[in-house]
Amino acid sequence: AQSVTQLDSHVSVSEGTPVLLRCNYSSSYSPSLFWYVQHPNKGLQLLLKYTSAATLVKGINGFEAEFKKSETSFHLTKPSAHMSDAAEYFCVVSEPYGSSNTGKLIFGQGTTLQVKP
Amino acid sequence: NAGVTQTPKFRVLKTGQSMTLLCAQDMNHEYMYWYRQDPGMGLRLIHYSVGEGTTAKGEVPDGYNVSRLKKQNFLLGLESAAPSQTSVYFCASSSDRGSNSPLHFGNGTRLTVT
């Protein structure tokens, strides 16, 4: 079965410093992996996705993530945090698509990113 | 461009009452989903639909029912609300299954059951 673990429930950085949000996954298959972001009182928005092409994936707003199969990780990074990056971030793995399932998404527990001025 | 619209935004129910949450999307998406979000638990799938007239159970379907009579609408019903159903509910839609196309989310419905 697929699962995803976000290693930090809360990360605090200063504006202009790098951001690292950690995610480990478990999958019996080659997974599709995603990062979604949720700003306060809003729905979630796709940041980026990995679907077995390049292992370094670039997303919106300067974020990127690297798929490392040997470490079963998909950490999200950004070189320089901005105040507007303060939000909750979700790492997501999809079930494989097949006769017994429909490729549903499995969400991690979320990491709250705080950006201090 | 409204995207995904959820109504109502807030609701307070007493235990045992019923209600229906409405989700409407204007993107002609085939797939629609209902999730609940609870602190420290991420999003959990309640029910989903892969097209008009179809519905299927997700991870946590007990206590909820859904209907997809029209392609653009996906209704979530609580027949007899319980305090354990206090949560934030999100509707989402996508043009293909979630592994292939991004989910578009509404802004959520905050439900409190007392």
Say yes or no for a CB contact (<8 Å) between A108 and B42: yes
Closest partner CB to A43 (pick from B45, B50, B106): B106
Distance from C-alpha of A31 to C-alpha of A73, rounded to nearest angstrom: 11
Closest partner CB to A107 (pick from B42, B106, B108): B42
Give me B80's structure tokens: 């007899």
pLDDT tens digits for range B23-66: 999 999 999 999 999 988 889 999 999 999 999 999 899 999 99
The DSSP bridge partners found for residue B78 are B19, B64
What's chain B's average pLDDT? 94
Say yes or no for a CB contact (<8 Å) between A95 and B100: no
Matching residue, tokens 């793995």? A93
Distance, in angstroms, between B108 CA and closest chain A CA?
A: 6
Say yes or no for a CB contact (<8 Å) between B42 and A97: no
pLDDT tens digits for range A58-103: 999 999 999 998 999 999 999 999 999 999 999 999 876 654 556 6
Write the CB contacts of A113 (distance below 8 Å, at least 6 apart in sequence).
A11, A12, A13, A19, A21, A81, A85, A86, A87, A88, A89
CA B104 to each of CA A84, A104, B11: distance values in angstroms, whole numbers, following the listed order: 20, 14, 23
pLDDT tens digits for range B85-94: 999 999 999 9
Mutate to test the interface with A, among B41, B90, B99, B110 (most CBs of A within 10 A): B99
Output the pLDDT for position A97: 63
The answer, for A102 touching chain B at a CB cutoff of 8 Å, is: yes
CA atoms within 13 A on the CB side of B109: 28
